[in-house]
Copies of this chain bind each other. A is one copy, B any other.
Amino acid sequence: MVENKLKREIPAKYADQYGVYDGEFAHIDSYQAATKTIKPIKPNESKLLGSIHEAIVKTGLKDGMTISFHHHFREGDFVMNMVLAEIAKMGIKNLSIAPSSIANVHAPLIDHIKNGVVTNITSSGLRDKVGAAISSGIMANPVVIRSHGGRARAIASGDIHIDVAFLGAPSSDEYGNINGTKGKATCGSLGYAMVDAKYADQVVAITDSLMPYPNTPISIPQTDVDYVVQVDAIGDPDGIAKGATRFTKNPKELLIAEYAAKVITASSYFKNGFSFQTGSGGAALAVSRFLRQTMIDEDVKASFALGGITNAMVEMQKEGLVDKLIDVQDFDHPSAISLAENADHYEIDANMYASPLSKGAVINQLDIAILSALEVDTDFNVNVITGSDGVLRGASGGHSDTSAACKLSMVIAPVVRGRIPTIVDAVTTVVTPGSSVDVVVTELGIAINPARQDLVEMFKDLKVPQLTIDDLKDKAYAITGVPEKIEYGDQTVALIEYRDGSLIDVVKNV
């Protein structure tokens, strides 16, 4: 065992392979960009194939290779299940899969794991059934959990080498010019898929909306695509928008949102030209609502909103409160529509969004980020990947990326959820180190990270209750009692990579 900087124990084998977390910018060094094999396409050669089966044959996909998918269709994705079903039928085994994330809809993956079709996984997250199955120990090799920026880094630096990317394309022409704003299953930005397309040896565009050549706008260009396959349906539009949240009426969430907005607007960052990222939860959307009102009242305009774009941001831009939307992913249909229609709503890839090894990600220019948490501990470490029972059910997302890079990172969370404390002595799993978290906002008040004495000074007259993080934990435990220790097994079921590729934690089987 090797203990990393956060005193998390990393099995020596994995510590050797990945290195261990040693501070937010300890491993940021020059490197050689990954390369790929390019098979040129001559004039008169067609890229259009008749089926996914034919595409798998043409790519020469074989045992042991790495394939990737994107999660822009979220709970409406048909592509990963379709492709894996065909691969399984063809008898190909021992694949590594590198989807940008895994949703509930991907439960058929469990059988592919059990049957030896899929033997390695890297993903931002694992939900419900798949998460529970992995946590039960069905895989010999641990899943590698990567943040959105960390995945882009891993691909750009060659840690993940994708042999074949199977990319759901809301619209494509026969030569592979793809966008996510036209077609039957529009998802808006293709920010995660763009990275796969750029670095994969071979790319198969799977579309249900074949457009005349040239299909524009071009999110993924023909020069990054080898084959195009037309199918009946690549996704369920309702599933794409599933989980897109309306403004909450929950009084606890509203109070958290109100406090968070007060912290933002009282900060020195709140001035003309500021920038923010809010995420998509109920409380996060409510923050936008309170923030919006103060921006109107005080005549403050933002230069850009980043993310994870929601209709709340789109509406603020329409009102003239936000100059530009910088979009790696859309959480709802209105945002996808806005990307299509509004030149100041701009699509970027995940590398530009958040990679710590890029020549400067957009998050480096970000003032304020609102982030969620399953747990926060008294060292301000945050868990967004496992439940309090230790079972994989969340997603790393852009959490550790944004919080490390922005100027004011705020984690919003209720003190308890039902009978489970959110503020705890030690998080079940660390995804984001406490050094990246500036302010924790709860319904009982805020706790400022004592490492940020400038913020303590800045907020000394703020009309929001201020507590220490230990106070918040005590209040949580007063309601729930001290949580029982989780009984783990000996098997490592997931490695939690920090965005720089080092291991910040591991997850054991339950």
Contacts and interface: CB of A to CB of B under 8 A. Distances in A.
Contacts of A344: 216
Chain B CB within 10 A, most for which of A30, A43, A356: A43
- Copies held by the complex: 2
Interface string A229-270: 000000000000000000000000000000000000000000
B214 A346 contact: yes
A212 interface: yes
A214 B37 contact: no
A351 interface: yes
A451 to B, nearest CB: 16
B214 A40 contact: no
Nearest to A152: B223
A39 interface: yes
B365 A214 contact: yes
A176 B361 CA distance: 11
Nearest to A157: B38
A222 interface: yes
A287 to B, nearest CB: 22
B365 A41 contact: no
A31 B41 contact: no
A218 B40 CA distance: 27
B326 A360 contact: no
Contacts of A356: 40, 42
A217 B33 CA distance: 25
A363 B222 CA distance: 12
Contact of A360 (B32, B175, B343, B361): B175
B35 A358 contact: no
A216 B348 CA distance: 11
A357 interface: yes
Nearest to A153: B40
Interface in A186-236: 212-214, 216-218, 221-226
Contact of A343 (B30, B226, B343): B343
B226 A359 contact: yes
A176 B352 CA distance: 12
Interface in A19-56: 25, 28-45, 47
B38 A225 contact: no
Contacts of A212: 273, 303
A364 interface: yes
A422 B352 CA distance: 51
A357 B40 contact: yes
A473 B404 CA distance: 71
A362 interface: yes
Interface in A356-378: 356-365
A358 B41 contact: yes
Nearest to A39: B30
A51 to B, nearest CB: 20
7 contacts: A34-B35, A35-B35, A41-B358, A214-B304, A214-B362, A223-B359, A223-B360
